[in-house]
Structures are given as structure tokens and as C-alpha cells.
Amino acid sequence: MDGFTEYAGHSHERLCRTAYLLTRNWATAEDLVQTALVKAWTVWRRIEGDPDRYVYRIIVNTHASWWRRRWRGEVPTEVMPEGSAGRDLAKTVTDREALWAATGALPGQQRAVVVLHYFGDLTHQQVADVLGCSLGTVKKQLSRALARLRVDSTLHDPDMEEAVR
């Protein structure tokens, strides 16, 4: 089918990595991407413009559906693991593991918004298009997620500052 093989070939790895960040399981991520690509294949000629929007949308919706049907045991935690003070390398690693754990505890839609924006590099409007919701909803979900993760968008990364000095 025109363009599908090329799209699947060059997008598969990126889609799997995105799906992994949503599911936290590589086998599940691969299943999810394969399911999304099957659905995309069946409507390929009707997809206008960038297929990413549609494929991401299937991935997020299918994951939500699977989560509801199969993964009810996953309970988001209200409090993320606490890190210690300082910013040496070992602590940075520990802190980032805590941040990783915390992203896994985000509610489904907040996790999707964060992953699509910070890993998929989608703009707020593109995330809204993928999720089929308003720009305001995306901003609200993102704001809540960042607050929960204690990510301050006004803070600058010391490593980055040092690197550009």
C-alpha cells in the first residue's frame, strides 16, 4: 500500500519507544504498536496528512482500553518517592529514578500528555489533536502532571547551563 511500508519502517522504533513509556512493558508496547499499525493499515487511504496523529491516537486509546480491561490492579500513588538533597552524579541518578517511578504513577491521560509532549516533541496543540481534546485540557493536564512530578518549567537544568557556558 502506498507509503504504509515506508511509514511503518521508519516509525516503528519511535512508536515502540513511545508505547513503552505509556505501558512500561516492552512486549505490551510492541503489541500496542502492532495493533495500531493494523488499524492504520485498514484505513490508510483515508488518512490525510501526517499519519502520526492517527497512529498516536490509536496507541493512546487502545492502551486506555487495555488498561481498563486488563490492568485494573495498577493504582496511581498520590505521593512520589522522596529524593535527598544535593546534586552529585549518584544523587542525580537516584533522583531521576524517582522521577521515572513518579511518571509511571501518573493517571493515564496525564501520562500520555507528558510522554507525547516531552518524548514525542509534540506541541500542546498537536497533543490536543492526537488526544481529540481541547488545547485548554492539554495545558491543564500537563500543569497537573508537572505539579505532581515536581517538575518546575521555570527551573533551568544546571548540567545544561554548565554545558553551554
Asked if 116 contacts 122 with a C-beta cutoff of 8 angstroms, the reply is yes
The 21-40 site mask, x for binding another protein (CB under 8 A), equals: x---xxxxxxx-xx--xxx-
The closest of 131, 108, 110 to 54, measured between CA atoms, is 131
Q: What is the dihedral of CA 140, 142, 148, 154, to 10 degrees?
A: -100
Q: Is the dihedral of CA 131, 135, 141, 145 positive or negative?
A: positive
Question: Binding of another protein at residue 76 (CB under 8 A)?
Answer: no
Q: Is 84 left (phi over 0), alpha (psi -120 to 50) or beta?
A: beta
Selected binder of another protein within 66, 124, 139, 144 (CB under 8 A): 66
Smallest distance from the beta carbon of 144 to another protein, in angstroms? 13
The span from the first CA to the last CA of the chain, in angstroms, equals 50
Q: Which is nearer to another protein, 33 or 105 (CB)?
A: 33
Selected binder of another protein within 3, 100, 123, 125 (CB under 8 A): 100
Show contacts with another protein in window 113-152 (CB under 8 A): 114-115, 118-119, 131-133, 137, 149-152
Selected binder of another protein within 84, 89, 90, 162 (CB under 8 A): 84
Selected binder of another protein within 2, 49, 72, 165 (CB under 8 A): 72
Smallest distance from the beta carbon of 127 to another protein, in angstroms? 11
Q: Which is nearer to another protein, 67 or 124 (CB)?
A: 67
Q: Is 144 left (phi over 0), alpha (psi -120 to 50) or beta?
A: alpha
